Amino acid sequence: MHPFSQGYRWMARRPEGPGGTDLFCLPFLSYGSAEFSRWPRLAGDVRICPLRCPADRDPGWWLERDTFQAQAADLVDDLGSSLPERFALFGHSDSALLAYEVMVALARLGMTAPVRLIVSASPAPQDAWISAPIPTEDELTEQALIACLNIGSTPLPSMLELSTRALRAQATARRKYKTSAPKRLGCPITAITWAGASEASRLPMFGWSECGSTTFVTLDGAEFRYTQAPPSLLRIIEATAGDHPPVPDQA
């Protein structure tokens, strides 16, 4: 029986199939697992495991966890003891920073570590801090609407409200997030840039090399292309099945 046989706050659906590695996909848009609805259940020998933000059901969750570190601690508290022997993490934009903090928390606690971290369209932790003011409510709602349309979902008022709330919380967390010397991870990193992203959305990714052994990849499409599970992305995911278990980094 798979370790995730019971309910968890973060688990959108249990892993299915005979795959040997689980890929946990951290939510960015925060309306269930809608952004991963077009992803297959399996990519080669890798099970696709979308996660959901507990704030979708409990709006007060954001107020109690207004930093990426606090959000990561909650995820580790919920899933950590049941993590399988082989798993990887995927995060897009701010959820890439959350995935990184999950790995830092797992290492600090001496818990099972991922075989790979896959990050998409996000600067490295030490380059992520934003000093600009938080966008206005209208600007956040517009961002939520654009994201919803890009992933092919119907922009229902309830969905836009959830996403706007999440974008506001992420903007707050980014402005509190300062990491001058990132911790090097024991597993490899794949950092994905999207060739069709707008100039404003195209972020420098080179800083991830300070966080561990990093492979840099540029894929076709705009920044929300990941929601469509393009073959080029699925090939990267499939390759995690061949990754070796991580070892502690002595650097």
- Summarised one tens digit per residue, pLDDT across range 170-194 is 899 999 998 878 999 989 999 999 9
Residue 134 resides in a domain = yes
The first and second tokens of residue 192, run together, are 């994905």
150/197 Cα distance (integer angstroms): 12
CATH number at residue 175: 3.40.50.1820
Cα 180–Cα 194–Cα 150 angle in degrees, nearest 5: 110
> pLDDT tens across 94-146, in order?
999 999 999 999 999 999 899 999 999 999 999 998 888 889 999 999 988 88
**Mean pLDDT score of the chain, rounded to an integer?**
87
In what side-by-side order are the strands of the sheet with 214-219?
42-43, 46-50, 21-25, 87-92, 116-120, 189-194, 214-219
Residue 216 resides in a domain = yes
24/168 Cα distance (integer angstroms): 23
What does the pLDDT read at residue 1?
Answer: 39
User: Does the pLDDT value for residue 19 go beyond 70?
Assistant: no
130/94 Cα distance (integer angstroms): 12
Q: Domain count of the chain?
A: 1
Residue 4 resides in a domain = no
Shortest CA distance to 28 belongs to which of 83, 98, 78? 98
What does the pLDDT read at residue 249?
Answer: 46
What domain range is 171 assigned to? 21-242
Residue 15 resides in a domain = no
pTM of structure:
0.91
Residue 80 resides in a domain = yes
Residue 12 resides in a domain = no
Q: Tell me what the mean pLDDT of segment 77-84 comes to.
A: 88
Pairing of strands 46-50, 42-43: antiparallel
Residue 204 resides in a domain = yes
Residue 9 resides in a domain = no
Range with the lowest mean pLDDT among 15-29, 105-119, 186-200, 225-239?
15-29
* Count of C-beta atoms within a 10 Å radius of residue 79: 20
103/111 Cα distance (integer angstroms): 9
Distances, alpha carbon 40 to alpha carbons 49, 155, 166, 208, 235, in Å: 10, 23, 25, 28, 12
160/224 Cα distance (integer angstroms): 16
What does the pLDDT read at residue 115?
Answer: 95
